[in-house]
Amino acid sequence: GAVVSQHPSWVICKSGTSVKIECRSLDFQATTMFWYRQFPKQSLMLMATSNEGSKATYEQGVEKDKFLINHASLTLSTLTVTSAHPEDSSFYICSAWRDSSYNEQFFGPGTRLTVL
């Protein structure tokens, strides 16, 4: 199968601090990864597309200076929430795109961020 991991699974931080979330594809290479945000009982909201070796592409309304994305290798993308505030509290999910005829995306288990 195709496994995507995220670390940490949950994090609590104080307002004003920065938090880094890692997303790894464990058994396949992923030139493209995606970062989503999900509020309770809502659908997934795409934040940005992360491409290995190049700058991330952010969706409209997502602050690129707030949510820093680095796709360091073919198996690792990181999302850093800078100067986090309580309104940044959410469930963050990454996915990795596996090149196939079906454009398959595989999702990580998510990271619950709580900013106090």
Partner 1 sequence: QQQVKQSPQSLIVQKGGISIINCAYENTAFDYFPWYQQFPGKGPALLIAIRPDVSEKKEGRFTISFNKSAKQFSLHIMDSQPGDSATYFCAASKRGAQKLVFGQGTRLTINP
CB-wise, 15 or 64, nearer to partner 1?
64
């999302």: which residue's tokens? Answer: 79
Contact call for residue 104 and partner 1 (CB under 8 A) = yes
What is the Cα–Cα distance from 87 to 89, expressed in whole angstroms? 5
Would you state the structure tokens that stand for residue 19, as one six-digit string? Answer: 């938090």
CB atoms under 10 Å from CB of 75, counted, come to 19
DSSP string, 67-83: EEEEEEETTEEEEEE-S
Cross-strand bridge partners of residue 36: 46, 93
CB-wise, 8 or 16, nearer to partner 1?
8
Count of residues of this chain found to bind partner 1 when the rule CB under 8 A is applied: 24
Contact call for residue 97 and partner 1 (CB under 8 A) = yes
CB-wise, 50 or 88, nearer to partner 1?
50
Contact call for residue 8 and partner 1 (CB under 8 A) = no
Min dist. Cβ of residue 17 to partner 1 (A):
23
The C-alpha angle 17, 114, 15, rounded to 5 degrees, equals 30
Min dist. Cβ of residue 11 to partner 1 (A):
14
Which residues contact partner 1 by CB under 8 A?
Answer: 4, 6, 32, 34, 41-44, 46, 49, 91, 93, 95, 97, 102-110, 112
